């Protein structure tokens, strides 16, 4: 017990460390970009803050800049009174702007774009690490070949015929594209289905390109909204390698000759492509000899397994994990494409993606915790995606964001004089309220997801816990 407690403590400390370094680092590098660009271009820097609101602690450096760590870790800011008046968010400036030299257009653009640029540079540095150490990917997510087709699936409170079954998809079909966009992994299929916006005769429609018997055919399919997040799904699983994880000594599995890391490919001559297929085939063979075809060291061979109950099997299965090494440019490019596709679906009234599907600061931190528990490579991958998201989001031409300030500066340059201060202040105030309202709205759904996941984990733990035997009955006196 003491060792379990120590391991749990160390695990939690590691997760906290990764979240602080990667999530906090993503905010820090963005503001560092603004800070260094402003200092380089000679702009007056009054404050550098990580977080908003009152300071937890603050100090003033020899350079005259106030450095803060503030209570609300929703981002950060560099107070630059010559560039923009964001007193409602950053606090009032003490500097007399009238006595400071004006900042030219080029300096403004360089400072505003520097934050996003540093996020991309940080993402690129992390992508180099992932390129070297590799990113673990279960083969089930790395394949686009269909293994199973669900006959029915839940959709909007009832069971319906699955779109895959309705469209006539078959086990062994390989999906090569979704709505004309090539796919390389199961994750690509899930993403493109969720973000799709096709409709036909009042029903959602997606066109799949499917390789079958050496030919590419087009299959129109009608996705349904399913799952807790109510996104478009079609009811398929893809092929995964089924590897023997551990053979219990003295078990029927050991007697059959199965060995650790054998890849099971068929049972009684029927291919097994998923764990449920394997489990069902093994249960059907209980009490009689079962022929299991395995691939061992690249060679296929067959062993005979005989067990009377599942307890006699002594077999555990592990899914094969493939380590991929995408180059940094590919990783950054993929993250940019994902972000732009999501924004496009969010703005498309024909898609089923809304603000409720986005993650705010609470959801992002929760995701950081989850991927940190799964290992450093996944935590780095998620940080790359977050940094690309931050860069693109901050460059959107929305007042309060960097892109909005760039838009104001550009309009002022084109018209030959700055926009009226009153107009800028009003626009920033309106969009500030809208932005924080959106964050609050999204955070409500983040909390719902966390509560739902916690309940699901507790239910799973309760189902897996051994049932305590009933106490013996007390004899009647």
pTM: 0.83
**What pLDDT does residue 3 have?**
63
**What pLDDT does residue 277 have?**
83
Closest CA relative to residue 366, chosen from 434, 459, 442: 442
**CA 370/CA 375 separation, integer angstroms:** 9
pLDDT at 50 over 50: yes
Q: Treating both helix axes as pointing N-terminal to C-terminal, what angle do 376-394 and 2-40 enclose, rounded to 10 degrees?
A: 30
**What pLDDT does residue 201 have?**
87
Query: Scanning the structure block, which residue is given the tokens 């996944």?
Result: 378
Q: What's the pLDDT tens digit per position in 68-80?
A: 988 876 678 888 8
Same fold, 137-237+320-324 and 242-319: yes
pLDDT at 352 over 50: yes
**What pLDDT does residue 326 have?**
92
Q: What's the pLDDT tens digit per position in 194-244?
A: 999 999 988 999 999 999 988 999 999 999 999 888 999 999 988 878 888
Burial (CB count within 10 angstroms: exposed 0-12, middle 13-18, buried 19+), residue 125: middle
Q: Could you say which DSSP state residue 324 is in?
A: E
pLDDT at 475 over 50: no
**What average pLDDT does the segment 417-425 reach?**
86
Distances (CA, A) of 440 to 76, 288, 373: 17, 60, 27
Residue 443: half-sphere exposure toward Cβ, Cα within 13 Å = 10
pLDDT at 399 over 90: no
Using DSSP's 3-state secondary structure scheme, residue 412 falls into: helix
| Beta-strand relationship, 242-247 and 236-238 | unpaired
**What average pLDDT does the segment 416-435 reach?**
87
Question: Taking all residues of the chain, what is their mean pLDDT, rounded to a whole number?
Answer: 87
pLDDT at 9 over 50: yes
Q: What is the separation of C-alpha 24 from the centre of its chain, rounded to a whole number of angstroms?
A: 18
- Rg of the chain (C-alpha set): 28
Could you tell me the pLDDT band of residue 469, with boundaries at 50, 70 and 90?
A: very low
**What pLDDT does residue 470 have?**
46
**CA 303/CA 263 separation, integer angstroms:** 12
**CA 290/CA 207 separation, integer angstroms:** 41
| Domain 137-237+320-324 superfamily per CATH | PDZ domain (2.30.42.10)
**CA 196/CA 193 separation, integer angstroms:** 5
Kind plus residue range of the DSSP H or E element containing 152 = strand 152-155
pLDDT at 280 over 70: yes
Q: Which residues make beta-bridge pairs with 220?
A: 207
**What average pLDDT does the segment 132-147 reach?**
85
Using DSSP's 3-state secondary structure scheme, residue 56 falls into: strand
Could you tell me the pLDDT band of residue 464, with boundaries at 50, 70 and 90?
A: low
Q: What's the pLDDT tens digit per position in 174-205?
A: 999 999 999 998 999 999 999 999 999 889 99
pLDDT at 334 over 90: yes
Q: Where are the domains of the chain?
A: 19-134+378-459, 137-237+320-324, 242-319
**CA 392/CA 202 separation, integer angstroms:** 34
CA quadruple 386, 389, 394, 395: dihedral sign: positive
pLDDT at 299 over 60: yes
Using DSSP's 3-state secondary structure scheme, residue 250 falls into: coil
- Whether domain 242-319 has CATH 2.30.42.10: the reply is yes
Which of 17-26, 169-178, 325-334 has the weakest average pLDDT? 17-26
- Close Cβ partners of 156 (under 8 Å, ≥ 6 residues apart): 224, 225, 230
């Amino acid at each position: 017990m003491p060792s379990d407690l120590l391991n749990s403590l160390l695990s939690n400390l590691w997760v906290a460390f990764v979240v602080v370094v990667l999530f906090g680092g993503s905010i820090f590098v963005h503001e560092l970009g603004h800070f260094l660009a402003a200092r380089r271009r000679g702009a007056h820097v009054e404050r550098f803050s990580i977080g908003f609101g009152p300071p937890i602690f603050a100090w003033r450096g020899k350079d005259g800049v106030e450095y803060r760590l503030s209570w609300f870790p929703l981002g950060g800011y560099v107070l630059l009174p010559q560039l923009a008046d964001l007193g409602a968010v950053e606090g009032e400036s003490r500097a007399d702007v009238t006595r400071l030299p004006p900042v030219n257009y080029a300096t403004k653009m360089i400072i505003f774009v520097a934050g996003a640029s540093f996020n991309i540079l940080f993402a690129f540095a992390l992508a180099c690490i992932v390129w070297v150490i590799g990113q673990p990917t279960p083969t089930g997510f790395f394949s686009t070949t269909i293994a199973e087709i669900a006959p029915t699936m839940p959709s909007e409170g009832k069971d319906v015929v699955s779109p895959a079954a309705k469209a006539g998809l078959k086990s062994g079909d390989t999906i090569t594209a979704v709505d004309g966009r090539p796919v390389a992994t199961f994750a690509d299929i899930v993403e493109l289905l969720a973000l799709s916006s096709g409709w036909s005769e009042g029903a959602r429609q997606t066109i799949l390109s499917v390789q079958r018997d050496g030919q590419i055919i087009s299959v129109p399919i009608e996705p349904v909204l399913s799952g807790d997040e109510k996104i478009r799904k079609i009811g398929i699983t893809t092929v995964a390698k089924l590897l023997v994880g551990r053979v219990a000594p003295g078990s029927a599995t050991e007697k059959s000759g199965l060995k650790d890391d054998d890849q099971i490919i068929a049972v009684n001559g029927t291919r097994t492509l998923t764990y449920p297929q394997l489990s069902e085939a093994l249960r059907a063979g209980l009490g009689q000899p079962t022929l299991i075809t395995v691939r061992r060291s690249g060679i296929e061979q067959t062993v005979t397994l005989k067990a009377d109950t599942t307890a006699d099997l002594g077999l555990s299965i592990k899914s094969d994990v493939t380590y991929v090494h995408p180059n940094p440019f590919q990783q950054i490019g993929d993250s940019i494409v994902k972000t732009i596709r999501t924004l496009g679906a969010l703005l498309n009234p024909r898609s089923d993606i809304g603000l409720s599907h986005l993650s705010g600061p609470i959801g992002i931190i929760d995701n950081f915790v989850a991927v940190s528990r799964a290992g450093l490579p996944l935590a780095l991958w998620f940080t790359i995606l977050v940094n690309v998201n931050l860069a693109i989001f901050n460059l959107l031409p929305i007042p309060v964001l960097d892109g909005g300030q760039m838009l104001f500066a550009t309009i002022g340059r084109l018209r030959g004089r700055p926009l009226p201060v009153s107009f800028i202040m009003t626009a920033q105030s309106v969009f500030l309220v809208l932005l924080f309202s959106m964050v609050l709205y999204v955070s409500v759904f983040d909390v719902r997801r966390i509560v739902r996941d916690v309940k699901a984990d507790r239910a799973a733990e309760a189902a897996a816990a051994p049932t305590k035997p009933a106490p013996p009955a007390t004899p009647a006196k």
